[in-house]
Amino acid sequence: MKKHYFIILLTIFTFMACTNDESKENLILQPGNYGFVVSVGVSGGSNSVNTKAIVDDRFTDEYDANYIYLHSIDNPNKVLRFPVQEEEDVCGPDCKGFRIYTHVGDDGDVMIFNYDPAQGESTSGNEKYITLDAEENIYFSSQESDSWQATRVEDEVSPLSQQPVFIRDENKNIELYRSAKNYTANGLNDGLVSSIGAQLQMDRVCSAYQVRCVVTDLDNDVNEDGSYFTLSEESFESQTGTERKDWSIKLYLGPLFPYTYNLSEIDPDNRVSYGEENTGGYYVTNQQSYTELAYPRQVVSSTSAVEDNSKTYRGLGLVTTEEYVITPVDESTEGTMTAYVFIKYNPSENADNKSDEGAKYAIIPVEDLPGRTNYTEQVNIVIDIDALVEAFQNEISGASQPSVPNGIFTKNLFGGELEQINLDALVFCQ
């Protein structure tokens, strides 16, 4: 005899940010067969972007992942994937969702299917089920593994602090979600139809970051009202007495980024792990290689649509054309982010873009950037051409002495010395 599964409810998934609700649904089902459709939506984040399409620098209300995964906390090997698909016939136009079917046995054990057993399996081989004990704890997430892990630059660390260095990985640095509550297997169905209005709340457990750096002329106030500053390539080469192609740059931002993030933990403070160094890491541009100063590049200090208070800085620099780095962040550690700006002047035709030899660095505290989830952060750094020329005056003139009298020198990992310089940079986040 075939078992019949009935669609008994429409459940709304609401994805929201940063909740520490540790309650657990534990409602008992009678033996039988159950099935329902779950519609998937997502609430927009704060100043955030969507990994598939940037819309006004915010996360859209479209669920980003193609699948949702059910995980057993008690037995990590038990994972079930549900495809997210259009469910217009159930919940209206532009509605995405997935279907889940369960069979509760006489002993209370729960079989959970990602297909309707009454219809049989197709030839695709994607149909699966898992069997859970009645009180087995479960949660939902957007990835198959319990643990998310950043991609490290192999065998390399920050040349200054020896902290881990991470690079953007398009397969890993994507939006990450985790259910705000844990459930038990026998409480799953009723847990989704609880008195709070048939909602399963999910948290977006990541933020998005981009660092931009521009060298401009703060004496060249084009509109004479402090709203637009610019530096042309010709002016840069004239004021420095060099060619643009001989200058290169790389940027670091950290250290509130974890190496490992454990999604099975309900408490966000317990999810962060830093690896052998036991410290946070830095994301770096261009896989820790120097990039030629590009022209034109610009940053804007405000995108306010209410007040016309924006300032535009146009010149040479590094404004990453790649997607934002989307990553979990440590919210439990006090402190803010720091940016390191590495600049190198090397007129040699055979300059090594991986080497820090001849480079100088500036430490840029980003005081308005704490670790916080569900945000997109644009870190904008503006350097005046006069400060850059002063920092490299001896290199430009061919002198062998350090550019800055009594400058601070730091031993790097390669046996050389890196000079710390003060660029008096303007820094703003948005």
Q: Which residue in the block uniquely carries the two structure tokens 């055979």?
A: 350
218 φ/ψ angles, rounded to the nearest 5 degrees: -75, -5
**pLDDT for the residue numbered 368:** 81
Q: What are the CA-CA distances from residue 56 to residues 51, 213, 319, 375 (Å)?
A: 12, 21, 18, 13
Contact in structure between 34 and 199 (CB atoms under 8 Å): no
The H-or-E segment that residue 420 falls in is strand 417-420
**CA pair distance 76, 73, nearest whole angstrom:** 6
Radius of gyration from C-alpha coordinates of the chain: 26
196 φ/ψ angles, rounded to the nearest 5 degrees: -80, 5
Q: Give the three-class secondary structure for 267.
A: coil
Q: What pTM did the predictor assign?
A: 0.83
Helices (H), 193-260: 233-240
Q: Identify the segments of the chain with pLDDT beneath 70.
A: 1-30, 36-62, 88-92, 121-125, 155, 189-201, 275-278, 302-308, 320-322, 399-416
406 backbone φψ class: left, alpha, beta (φ>0; ψ -120 to 50): left
154 token code pair: 């192999």
What tens digit of pLDDT does each residue of 3-24 get? 433 333 333 333 333 333 333 3
**pLDDT for the residue numbered 179:** 85
Q: Identify the bridge partners of residue 312 per DSSP, sorted by sequence position.
A: 228, 300
**pLDDT for the residue numbered 42:** 58
The H-or-E segment that residue 389 falls in is helix 385-391
Q: Identify the bridge partners of residue 184 per DSSP, sorted by sequence position.
A: 137
**CA pair distance 199, 196, nearest whole angstrom:** 7
Contact in structure between 169 and 325 (CB atoms under 8 Å): no
**pLDDT for the residue numbered 148:** 95
Q: What are the CA-CA distances from residue 386 to residues 190, 248, 383, 391 (Å)?
A: 67, 17, 9, 9
* Local structure of residue 395 (DSSP, 8 states): H
> What burial class does residue 219 get, using C-beta atoms within 10 Å of its C-beta: 0-12 exposed, 13-18 middle, 19+ buried?
exposed
The residue type at 263: L
Q: What are the CA-CA distances from residue 164 to residues 262, 267, 275, 306, 420 (Å)?
A: 18, 24, 9, 41, 20
What tens digit of pLDDT does each residue of 41-88 get? 555 555 544 444 345 566 666 678 889 999 999 999 999 999 888 776
What tens digit of pLDDT does each residue of 198-247 get? 356 678 888 889 899 999 999 999 999 999 999 999 999 999 999 999 99
What does the CA dihedral 404, 420, 296, 312 come to, rounded to 10 degrees?
-90
**CA pair distance 55, 143, nearest whole angstrom:** 24
* Strand pairing class (207-216; 376-384): parallel
Helices (H), 223-319: 233-240
**pLDDT for the residue numbered 121:** 67
Q: Identify the bridge partners of residue 221 per DSSP, sorted by sequence position.
A: 229
**pLDDT for the residue numbered 327:** 94
Total residues found in the chain within this entry:
430
The most distant pair of C-alpha atoms in the chain lies apart, rounded to whole Å, by 91
289 φ/ψ angles, rounded to the nearest 5 degrees: -100, 150
